[in-house]
Amino acid sequence: MRFFKYHGTGNDFVVLDRLSGGPLPSPEEVEAWCRRHTGIGADGVICACPPVAGGDARMCIFNADGSEAEMCGNGIRCLARFLYEHAGIKKNEMLIETAAGSKSLSLSVEAGEVREVEVDMGAPELAAPDLPASDDPANRPGVVSISGIPEGPVDAFCVSMGNPHCVIVVDDVSQAPVSTLGPAIERHRLFPRRVNVEFVEVTGEGRLKVRVWERGVGETQACGTGACAAAVAAVNLDRCSFPVHVALPGGTLVISVDQHGHVLMRGPAVEVFRGELTSRRGKER
């Protein structure tokens, strides 16, 4: 079984072509392929699937622990480059279906290669079924206090970008307790489907430095939806204004908004290598 390896600002993925149908990987296969020392090594597995709602393709994405995710900002940019360069979808404007709805993408192409991709991530949601209601005394949407965790009560900003995010503003992101506070909040009772956790330092006007604890993965080099959530939180908390340059360990993403209030995310997608998988087990979808 042929696979492609991509990364978007260090957030890396195994990409499989399922545009003609065929089995999707089992959770056990995803876990095995994503292991850094005994597998390919990745933050997740993306399957390019046939569309069902009029798009150019459909993205099915699985976290490194085998669980399925609704959406991935870095992953969808990687999928767009794969579709353009290897699946014959030579379009500078694409529509890719996800479990969080269809997403419009604009591809910057030079000499037949995709250099950058901008994704319309849709409007952020400050009230969603997989997020707690705001308990802020000033009644600010999205603002919550999280208790019962190792670091004591923590003020956070919760937002959905098609998947749930909990954003914590810190003074120095390099010293943030990502490895302890991240997993404690990920599985906190306030978040019925678990949550992605962003630790955010404001470094200047329109500039953030961010580390992310991803649901089902752990700390990653980058997270596209997490960068969007961090920017939305910082703007709503009056810490900066759009456009926002979000610096992550694996690179920088530029987050802006359009006239409809939709969040736009722009960044690279890089093909790393190609190879063959020996396992052929999976489930049909």
Task: Please state, in angstroms and rounded to a whole number, the distance separating the CA atoms of residues 72 and 144.
Answer: 24
- The H or E element spanning position 229 is helix 224-236
Q: Which of 72, 166, 228, 240 is labelled catalytic?
A: 72
Q: Is the peptide bond before 243 cis (omega within 30 degrees of 0)?
A: yes
- The H or E element spanning position 61 is strand 57-63
72 among known catalytic residues: yes
Buried b (16+ CB within 10 A) or exposed e, 133-169: ebeeeeeeebbbebeeeeeeebebbbbbbbbbbbbbb
- Nearest to 85, CA basis, from 105, 59, 111: 111
Task: Please state, in angstroms and rounded to a whole number, the distance separating the CA atoms of residues 135 and 132.
Answer: 9
Q: Which of 34, 166, 223, 228 is labelled catalytic?
A: 223
223 among known catalytic residues: yes
In 10 A of CB 222, how many CB atoms?
28
Helix 73-86 to helix 224-236 angle (10° resolution) is 140
Residue 220 contacts residue 10 (beta carbons within 8 Å): yes
Q: Which residues are designated catalytic?
A: 72, 223
